[in-house]
Amino acid sequence: MIIEILILVISFIILLSIGVPVAWSIGISCLAALLVSVDSLATFTTVAQRMATGLDSFSLLAIPFFILAGQIMNQGGIAKRLISFAKALIGSLPGGLIYVNVIASMLFGAISGSAVAAASAIGGILGPHMERENYSKEFGAAINVTSSTTGLIIPPSNVLIVYSMASGGVSIASLFLAGYIPGILMGLALMLMGTVWIRKKKYPAGERSTLKLISTTFLVALPSLLLLIIVIGGIVLGVFTATEASGIAVLYTLILASIYKEINLKKLYNIFLNSIGTTAIVLLLIATSMSMSWVMSFENIPQTVSELLLGLSENKYVILLIINLLLLFVGTFMDITPAVLIFTPIFLPVVENLGVDPVHFGMIMVMNLCVGLCTPPVGSVLFIGVGVAKTSIQKVIKPLLPLYVVMFIVLLMITFIPGISLWLPKLFE
């Protein structure tokens, strides 16, 4: 068993380090580990079967639909209207575009369920405005990158659906409800750090918006905001499942984009093409990650890790702190979807034995891995944000450091105060 585990881990790390895509690294390392204990034909058959059965889940249908809805929002003028509303609401404050960036990212990320979509849409639209008003390009990119990850915590979120599947069926409705307060708390913490930066740079106050402008921009943005109420309200009230909600989200965003008249047939073709490409990547990651989860279970890795962690300490808070540190490390070199699928079956049994609610642990895991999306060398949101801002990672790292500290503080609060995550789900029980 020890040899198989070493082959699995070492081959995976080597493949990643030489630039092999994550999905292929996972699949090849699984094959390498099984070849030691199983004959070659059975190995290939087993991995193929586990990949196929890993995708045989009705709840996974929600992912391509939410991806498509996010692409339509990105191209359909929804981001512009959310930015206009946020700017009218708080743009008059000193350094107000920093707050606008965070709030717009939270709103757009929550509606689209994608941190990458939020970083590209909000950064692409708001970035030039910030540059014209002499904001630091690097700090603007840093705040855009970190605030975009709130969309993976505030529902609807594909990652929470993946966690539900990996955990063996934790309620998606409960996970969605649990994400609101942590996501909003993260956004407020980032704005607080933005305030420190604004005062240091002594930005003047902007022009105050009239009540008429605020109400007008709100009414224009309202149809987009209603999507959150329709999708989440329908799931929580039991009107439809998360998968059905994703289909409704696509239909609603298509109608909205057609009303805004910002999508033509050529754009729609590109939207479908991009959605298919993104879906293929995500589902391949899920398939190979499910095969790795099975290999780990076959080799009794979850039980070994559980015994090891509980051997270090039986204190719940010490174990949670260790798991946090491990997940933060994992997030620096692995994308969020495979990380959730691979490490949920390993860590969830450990924390459940210590009395941690699986919904609460879902928030802990996703928050940890969201930090990883903002860190090199594999942070996808970091690369998107830097690319949109037309700057370099080296220049953005310095303004990112205090934002990392803020994110870590919020992570610790969510880890050690379960009520932050569990209050809303318990309220709707």
Q: Contact 358/332 with Cβ under 8 angstroms?
A: no
Structure tokens at 155: 């529902």
The answer, yes or no, to whether residue 410 has pLDDT greater than 80, is: yes
Number of H helices, E strands in the chain: 21, 0
Q: What is the pLDDT of residue 423?
A: 93
Place of tokens 């919020």: 410
CA 310, distance to chain mean position in Å, is 29
CA 423, distance to chain mean position in Å, is 21
Is 85 exposed, middle or buried (CB count within 10 Å of its CB: 0-12, 13-18, 19+)? buried
Task: Locate the domains of the chain by residue range.
Answer: 1-54+282-298, 55-263+299-427
Q: Contact 144/325 with Cβ under 8 angstroms?
A: no
The answer, yes or no, to whether residue 185 has pLDDT greater than 90, is: yes
The pLDDT-based confidence of 148 (bands split at 50, 70, 90) is confident
The pLDDT-based confidence of 99 (bands split at 50, 70, 90) is confident
On average, the pLDDT of the chain sits at 82
The answer, yes or no, to whether residue 425 has pLDDT greater than 80, is: yes
Q: Supply the DSSP symbol for 391.
A: -
The answer, yes or no, to whether residue 159 has pLDDT greater than 70, is: yes
Q: What is the pLDDT of residue 320?
A: 92
Pick the more confident residue, 19 or 159: 159
Pick the more confident residue, 23 or 429: 23
The answer, yes or no, to whether residue 297 has pLDDT greater than 80, is: no
Q: Give mean pLDDT, residues 205-227.
A: 79
Q: What is the pLDDT of residue 207?
A: 66
Is the pTM for the entire model greater than 0.85? no
Q: What is the pLDDT of residue 158?
A: 81
Structure tokens at 226: 């209603």
Dihedral class, residue 169 (left if φ above 0, else alpha if ψ from -120 to 50, else beta):
left
The pLDDT-based confidence of 93 (bands split at 50, 70, 90) is confident
For 246-290, what is each residue's pLDDT tens digit?
888 888 888 888 887 777 778 888 888 888 888 888 888 888 888
For 17-49, what is each residue's pLDDT tens digit?
787 877 888 888 888 887 776 666 667 777 788
Give the DSSP letter string of 274-306. Answer: HHHHHHHHHHHHHHHHHHHHHHHHHTTHHHHHH
3-state secondary structure (DSSP) of residue 157: coil
The residues, ordered by sequence, that sit 6+ positions from 31 with a Cβ below 8 Å of its Cβ are 43, 44, 47
Q: Give mean pLDDT, residues 217-234.
A: 82
Place of tokens 């930005």: 203
Q: Give mean pLDDT, residues 236-255.
A: 83
3-state secondary structure (DSSP) of residue 413: helix
Whole-number Å distance between alpha carbons of 147 and 341: 24
3-state secondary structure (DSSP) of residue 311: helix
Alpha-carbon distances, residue 118 vs 275, 381, 383, 426 (angstroms): 15, 9, 13, 30
The answer, yes or no, to whether residue 171 has pLDDT greater than 90, is: no
The answer, yes or no, to whether residue 4 has pLDDT greater than 80, is: no
Place of tokens 């405005």: 129
For 373-390, what is each residue's pLDDT tens digit?
888 776 778 888 888 888
Q: What is the pLDDT of residue 375?
A: 83
The answer, yes or no, to whether residue 243 has pLDDT greater than 70, is: yes
Whole-number Å distance between alpha carbons of 307 and 329: 21
